[in-house]
Amino acid sequence: MPLPSQPLRRLGFLTIGLFDEADPGRGHESTLQLVELGERLGFDSVWLRHRHLQFGISSPVAVLAAASQRTRRIELGTAVTPLGWENPLRLAEDLASVDILSGGRLNPGVSVGPPLHYDRVRDALYPDTADAEDFGHTRVRRLLDLVRGEPATGFRGTEGFEAYSDRVQPHAPGLGDRMWYGAGSLGSARRAGESGMNLLVSSVVKAEEGEDFGSIQLAHVRDFRESHPAGARARVSQGLVVVPTDSATPAQRAKYREYARARLPRTAAPQGPARLLFAPDLVGSSAEIAEQLYAHPAFREIDEVAFALPFTFEYEDYVQILTDIATVLGPALGWRPAAG
């Protein structure tokens, strides 16, 4: 097995938080239990993904508020919040509130673009302004300014018995440095760097200058750092689908390999008008997965990961996968679990 250029410094995981429509409480509770398990196993971070009008967590910020009261160390992130669904001012208030509640552990990840299936939801989401909404990077800029304490209004003072601030309250010092951008293209990676954000790269990229996933993602990482004020020290986290099988039962191993097999065809060539290119899921022993990661061009230039859990497995599968990641795969990558 080739040696890593440097040990993996931070290990996280991403989950979608599925639930049964007739019993959503159970799914939300199992998600919180996975967060607690992650902390016990020494993971550095856990990330929740948004699912609007689906049977997955639609409000990760609210769920992370609950998680903040059941954990004390693990960092809590969103990967990612699509800002087309959000009002930046209201979101800034929610993020700051949860960051305060968590003791400064929130890591919000965001992206821009029109909401998915905008033609279906526009009348419910923006009934009066659907054609005027700006879904570009300006939306990120507004959120960043508000989170970082820039004025939201020209008035600060007292009216009668009411005191008013000119910036978002509560203000969460340091939150502005923990804002992440989920980039799938060279342009978005560069804009994230120019904005002084951190970068999330996942298992999906746009095939703009070739069709080799690793080379494309490596270009995103390098362009981001070249554009960032911190240069080579700018933070990048990689989020591939990783499923170690070290302690899996034979039935689990068969299920995991069938899951990856069914999804493999989409990795052969760019998909759809946007030319989206998907990375293959990594399924196998931790030794096999570590070797594949060390061969990945982008992985060799980062020291943080947030491995994505498959969306359709059972709670017991997630426990096995997370346990193997923390106790076998992580150490194979040079990672050490967080103390406490």
Domain residues of the chain, as ranges?
A: 10-332
Give the pLDDT band of residue 209 (cuts 50, 70, 90): confident
Res 185 pLDDT > 90: yes
- Give residue-wise pLDDT tens across range 283-330: 999 999 999 999 999 999 999 999 999 999 999 999 999 999 999 999
Residue 325: closest CA among 289, 291, 279: 289
Distance CA 73, CA 175 (A): 16
Count other Cβ atoms within 10 Å, centred on residue 69: 10
Which fold does the domain 10-332 belong to in CATH? TIM Barrel (3.20.20)
Q: State the average pLDDT over residues 197-202.
A: 97
The rounded mean pLDDT for the chain is 96
| Phi–psi pair at 231, nearest 5 degrees | 60, -130
Decide if 247 contacts 327 (C-beta within 8 A): no
pLDDT value of position 339:
78
Decide if 143 contacts 83 (C-beta within 8 A): yes
Q: State the average pLDDT over residues 135-158.
A: 97
pTM of the model: 0.96
283 residue type, one letter: V
Q: State the average pLDDT over residues 47-56.
A: 96
Decide if 73 contacts 338 (C-beta within 8 A): yes
Query: What does the buried/exposed string (b/e) look like for 25-58 if buried means 16 or more CB atoms within 10 Å of the residue's CB?
Result: eebbebbbebbebbbebbbbbbbbbbbbeeebbe
Give the pLDDT band of residue 1 (cuts 50, 70, 90): very low
pLDDT value of position 3:
52
Eight-class DSSP state of 281: P
Give the pLDDT band of residue 6 (cuts 50, 70, 90): confident
Q: State the average pLDDT over residues 257-273.
A: 95
Q: State the average pLDDT over residues 100-117.
A: 97
Decide if 172 contacts 187 (C-beta within 8 A): no
Q: State the average pLDDT over residues 236-243.
A: 98
Res 230 pLDDT > 90: yes
Give the residue carrying structure tokens 């594949």: 292
Give the residue carrying structure tokens 């879904």: 135
Give the residue carrying structure tokens 């609950």: 66
Checking DSSP bridges between strand 157-159 and strand 162-164, what pairing results, if any? antiparallel
**Strand partners for 35:** none
